[in-house]
Amino acid sequence: MEVILKEDVNKLGHRGDVVKVADGYGRNYLLPGKLAIEATEANKAVIEQMKGSALRKSAKEKTEAEELATQLSAVELVFERKVGESEHLFGSVTSSDIAHELENKGFTIDRRKISLEDPLKTLGEYHVPVKLHREVTSHIKVTVKGDQAEVEAAAAV
């Protein structure tokens, strides 16, 4: 099945690209999610017009993403979690946790844009990349600390 992408899709293509995908992937994910439209001749003509506006829209999004990246580079998030004996967390810090904490600080960022390979499961300081635009990536400083009540209890023993 050939589709025309209406949005950038990871590992598939960018907005306006005509790509060949499996029928099920196109019908069950791309089309219902409004990420793509079927590649008919009429739609291909419409897409040519959309490409010009897409370039302008992409340039605008890039400048907005660059501004947001400068704001995000100054953000530092601190998470307190319960800790085991070898500083191993009970639970973890996930991209959803980071997105929720960013939202509390006034930044609305989709959790899928936070490029966290694996959830954070140990104490420490991390620099987590956030892909704001295909050409703009910012880094957020994330610190994972142990729960203070448990640290004091361990010190008392």
Same domain, 81 and 138: yes
Domain total in the chain: 2
Instruction: Give the residue numbers spanning the domain of 36.
Output: 2-64
Residue 157 CB burial class (10 angstroms; 0-12, 13-18, ≥19): exposed
Helix (H, G, I), strand (E, B) or coil at 54: helix
Tens of pLDDT, residues 37-48? 888 888 877 777
Domain CATH for 16: 3.40.5.10
Query: What pLDDT was estimated at residue 28?
Result: 93
Same domain, 98 and 43: no
Query: What pLDDT was estimated at residue 24?
Result: 92
pTM over 0.75: no
143 within 8 A of 78, measured Cβ to Cβ = yes
